[in-house]
Amino acid sequence: MKRGFKITIISFAIAGILASQNGWADQTSSTSDLEQRLDNLESQVADLKQQLQDQKQQEAQNAQQAAQAPGVIASAPAYVTANSKDGFAFKSADGDFSLKIGGYTQFLARDFGSSDKEDLQSDHGSNTSYGEDDAFLARRVRLIIQGTVAHDFDYYLQPELGYNNALSSITSTSPSAYSPALQDAWIDWKYFPDFTIKAGKFKTPFDLENLQDTRVTDFVELGLTGNLTPQRDIGVQAGGNLYFDWISYAAGIFNGAADHENPYGGSSTAGYENGNATGVGRIFATPFKDTSIKPLQGLGVGYAVSYGKEKGSDIPASYVTTGQAPFFSYNSGVANDGPQLRTEPQAFYYYKSLGILGEKINDYESLEYTANSHIYRDKPDNHAFNVEASYVLTGENASYNGVTPKNNFNPGKGTWGAFEVVGRYGELKLDDSIFSEGFASESTSASEARAWSTGLNWYLNSNAKLVFDYEQTKFDDGAAAGVNGGNRKTENLFLTMLQLSIG
C-alpha cells in the first residue's frame, strides 16, 4: 500500500471518529467506551506507522541492490565550482574523477638603461647582441589542466603559450620567440600515499628555488644558481612523504638535460644511450613542523644530487644573468665527455612575516674538444649560490608557497592587499681551467658573475600580483683586453610584472 494512501486512510479514520463523537459531551456514552475507541485508534495508527517504516527500509534495500547490479551505474550529482583556488573545477560525487582548468599570465616590462647597452656594445662592436633589449614581454602565458582519474591517478598538463626559446631565457623579442611549447606533462600514481610514481616531463627534484611554483617566487626570474641545473627533464620518479610529512623524498631516472635546459621547451635532448641516464635524488626535512616550538616550525633543510654520463654536444648554449642576458658560452666544438655530478645543500626558514631561502650548487662536468688533431679533456668544477630574504609588511605569514593577503585590494573599504619586500644575493663562478685549457674565451665570456637584487611585491588579492624588481650584476672577464680592465660592464635592470593567476 502506498504511503499517501495509508495517510489518507488515517486521516479519514480520525475524521470519522471525531464526527461520530460530535457533541460527545452531551451524549450518555460512558467515559470507558470513549477511552476504548481511542485505544483502538492509537493501535491502528501504530500499525500503519510500522508498515510505513518497513516500506522505507525495503525501498532502501532495493535501491542499494540496483546500484550494485552489474552494468548499472548509480545516478549521483556531479559538482561544478569556480573559485580562485581551484579555477574551473568539475568533480564526480564520489571524488574519484575530477578536472580543473586554470592558468596564469605574466606580462613583463624590462629596462636595461641605454648607457649600459652602449657600453656593452663598445666591448666588442656595435653588431654584438647581448640580449639586453628593453621591451614589453608576455613572459609566461600558461594553461593548466589537471585532475584525477579513478581515484588513484593524478594528471597535469601545462603548455607554454607565451615566450619560448632554446633556454627559456629572454634573448630575443622577435615574433618567432613566441611559440607553443610543452612545459609539463605528467601522470602520478598515488595508490600508496607514502610512495607515489610520477612519469612524464616535469621539474627535476633538485634545485630548491626552481621547484617553487613560478607564481610564488620572490623574484620574476631565478637567481644565478638556475644556470647549473636543468629546468625540467623527462623521466620517471618515485617519491612521497614520511613521518607525518616531516620528511619528503624523491628519486628518479631521466634522459639527462644540460645545465639550464628545458627539453622540448624550445631545445631538445637526444635522450640517454647505452643506459647512461641521469639519476636525481632529493630529501628534504621539516623536523619541527608539528611541534610546539613555533619559531622553528618553518625550518626546512635538504640535500639533492644528480649523476649521469653525458656524451655529445648537448651542453649549455650559454649561462645568463638574472636579467636573462647571456654572459658565458663554451667555444665551438666543446662537448660532454663522461660523468656529470651536481650536488646542492638547501634550506629555508619561515617565521611569521619573515622568509629566508638559500642554496649552493656544485657542478662537476667532463668536457672535451679537438684542435690540431689533438683531443683536449677537462673536468671543471663550477659552483653557484643564492641567498634571498623576504618580509611581509602588512603582517601576513610568509611561506614557501607564497603570500595570501588578509584583505583584498579595495580602496573604498580602506584595504590595499599585501605588500612584501624582498632581497637576494648570488654568485656563479666558472672553473679557471675552462679558460686556461681553451674551452671558453675570457674576451667573450665572463668567468664570474655576482648579482644582488631588491624588489617589492604587491598582492592585490589571491589572483593578482604586481612585482617591481631591480637587479644589478657585476662580472669578471667577458670583455676585450683593455676595455674596462677586461671585465664586462655592470648590468642594471628594472623589471615590472603584472601577474594574473587562477587555479
What is the sign, positive or negative, of the torsion defined by CA atoms of 500, 139, 382, 256?
positive
pLDDT per residue rounded down to tens, the chain (503 residues): 445 544 555 555 555 544 444 543 444 445 666 666 666 666 776 776 677 677 666 666 665 665 555 554 455 577 788 887 778 899 998 889 999 999 999 999 989 875 455 555 555 443 345 666 788 888 899 999 999 999 999 999 999 988 765 444 444 544 455 678 889 999 999 999 899 999 999 999 999 999 999 999 999 999 999 999 988 999 999 999 998 889 999 999 998 888 888 775 444 445 666 557 899 999 999 999 999 999 999 999 999 999 998 777 678 878 999 888 899 999 999 988 888 999 999 999 999 999 999 999 999 999 999 888 899 999 999 999 999 999 999 999 999 999 999 999 999 999 999 999 999 999 999 999 999 999 999 999 999 999 999 999 999 999 999 999 999 999 999 988 777 889 999 999 999 999 999 98
Quick one: cell of 25?
Answer: 459531551
Collapsing DSSP to helix, strand or coil, 484 comes out as helix
SS3 content of the chain, % helix, strand, coil (to 5): 20, 45, 35
- Give pLDDT, residue 428: 97
What is the pLDDT at residue 115? 46
Dist CA 197 CA 186 (whole Å): 10
What integer pLDDT is reported at residue 126 of this predicted model?
Answer: 39
Q: Are 160 and 180 in contact (CB under 8 A)?
A: yes
DSSP β-bridge partners for residue 105 = 141, 500
Q: What is the sign, positive or negative, of the torsion defined by CA atoms of 127, 328, 222, 205?
A: positive
Q: What residue type is assigned to position 205 of the chain?
A: P
* Distance separating alpha carbons of residues 143 and 156, to the nearest angstrom: 11
pLDDT tens-digit map of 338-389? 889 999 999 999 999 999 999 999 999 999 998 888 999 999 999 999 999 9
Contacts 24+ apart (CB under 8 A), 11-20: 13/41, 13/44, 14/41, 17/41
Q: What is the pLDDT of residue 317?
A: 75
Residue 151: how many CB atoms within 10 A of its CB?
14
Q: Are 255 and 154 in contact (CB under 8 A)?
A: no
Residue 496: which of 182, 111, 174 has the closest Cα? 111
Angle (CA) 148 183 491, round 5°: 140
